[in-house]
Amino acid sequence: MSDRDELMALRQRCARSLQGHGLATAAAMLATIPADTVLDNYGLGGVVGDLETEICRLLGKQAAAFLPSGVMAQQAVLRVHADTRNRRTVIFHPMCHLEQHEGQAYQRLHGLVGRPAGQRDRLITMDDLTAIAEPPAALLLELPQRDIGGQQPEWDDLTAQVNWARDRGAAAHMDGARLWEASAGYGRSPADISALFDTVYVSFYKGIGALPGCCVAGPEDVIEQVREWRRRMGGTLYGLWPSAASALTLLAERLPRFPRYLDHARAIAAALSGVPGITVLPDPPQVPMMHLLLRVAKDDYAKAARQLAEDQGIWASPFCMPTADPAVQRLEFSVGDATLEFTPSAVAEIFAGLSSAPARR
């Protein structure tokens, strides 16, 4: 058995998880699909249609299309915006998911040109945008910006950036993989935020913890073209109902809890401020997620996480992101139902042990 297989077996033996909604099991995920779910046929009708209707209501958009993955969804909608405007350039943050995690598929499959704006470790500013002269097809803004700790711009800044795109004839598209978190952070409804944008992508396995799948919402003519690209890209499966049903169930169950998740995230950040060797980014958290900089060697952290799982049955991911300093690791920490089972002081104590630094009492 490989080391990774051993870790996954250890994970399955844990009774609790420190972050998110806990350790998913097949039984728990299947339980999110009601027995009376009405099946779709190649994405038409049934629970898929019900979910698309609900997303239109939640986001205040004319139409929505369900797709099996966010990678496919955002490539499709950006391709539509580019073809409509006869432009190829898409502006996004340097840490945008399309740029960092998709093998430049937007370029290799769709002939789009990515134009990063701003710096990797901060949000896009209006100065970054006004320095761009070429006419873009779309401005993509991720809310919140995951890879810099879940940061998002002030509301007035966000509005100004969207208006900048519109003034140049470009589409404003939201990567709303974590829109539910962004809504809590802004204290505004998903529809209020979505109203700024032409099109919006939302994920269902992130944030609410459903089975994989997502929706793109926007004007009817754009979404009809997205559906055609879904078929061309192999996403119109014979039955999409399991993921759609899971999403409908957990949207109703968990969406009202996001303000509570945010309050808990901020209380945890406050507790962590008393732990030497740990830095919270951003502090305080702007949404129910944050990044933690842990002053500990990579192997020492992994060993401590494994020990925590073996001794206490608590799962904390042993995988960190490296930083420029080998003695400092970066950990993404999301707050959900599982996290609510731990008090902020208990979370701080656990991370003190993981970073080999005693908590201050």
Domain assignment present for residue 360? The answer is: no
CATH number at residue 297: 3.90.1150.10
pLDDT at 202: 98
Asked whether residue 321 is domain-assigned, the answer is yes
Please report the pLDDT score of residue 8 as a whole number. 85
- Domain region containing 247: 26-254
Distance in Å from the first CA to the final CA of the chain: 41
136 and 285 fall within a common domain: no
The CATH code of the domain that includes 117 is 3.40.640.10
Q: What is the DSSP letter of 323?
A: -
Best CA proximity match to 114, nearest among 99, 101, 129, 124:
99
Residues 200 and 315 in one domain: no
Same domain, 116 and 15: no
Amino acid letter, 353:
G
pLDDT for the residue numbered 260? 98
177 contacts 97 by C-beta, under 8 angstroms: yes
DSSP three-state, residue 309: helix
Return the number of other C-beta atoms located less than 10 Å from residue 147's C-beta: 21
In a shared domain, residues 16 and 132: no
Residue 359 domain-assigned? no
Strand pairing report for 321-322 and 328-334: antiparallel
Look at residue 267 and tell me whether its pLDDT is greater than 50.
yes
Structural domain includes residue 361: no
Residue 358 is predicted with a pLDDT of 42
Task: Tell whether 65 and 31 lie within a shared domain.
Answer: yes
pLDDT for 200 beyond 70: yes
What does the pLDDT look like over 291-345, one tens digit per residue? 999 999 999 999 999 999 999 999 998 999 999 999 999 999 999 999 999 999 9
pLDDT in tens, 98-157: 999 999 999 999 999 999 999 999 999 999 999 999 999 999 999 999 999 999 999 999
Name beta bridge partners: 290.
Answer: 333
Q: Is residue 347 part of a domain?
A: yes
The answer on 162 and 263 residing in a single domain is: no
At 275-305, the pLDDT tens digits run 999 999 999 999 999 999 999 999 999 999 9
Boundary (domain end) residue, out of 211, 229, 254: 254
| pLDDT exceeds 50 at position 163 | yes
The residue written with tokens 């190829």 in the block is 88
What per-residue confidence (pLDDT) applies to 171? 98
217 and 338 housed in the same domain: no
Domain finish residue from 211, 234, 254: 254
- 74 and 219 share one domain: yes
- One domain, residues 75 and 9: no
DSSP string, 130-188: HT--SPPSEEEEESSBGGGTSB---HHHHHHHHHHHHHTT-EEEEEETTHHHHHHHHTS
Instruction: Determine, yes or no, domain membership for 40.
Output: yes
Residues 323 and 191 in one domain: no
129-139 pLDDT, tens digit per residue, is 999 999 999 99
357 neighbors 301 (Cβ within 8 angstroms): no
Question: Domain total for the chain?
Answer: 2
Q: Please enumerate in sequence order all residues whose Cβ is within 8 A of that of 309, keeping only pairs 6 or more positions apart, or say none.
A: 10, 11, 13, 14, 315, 316
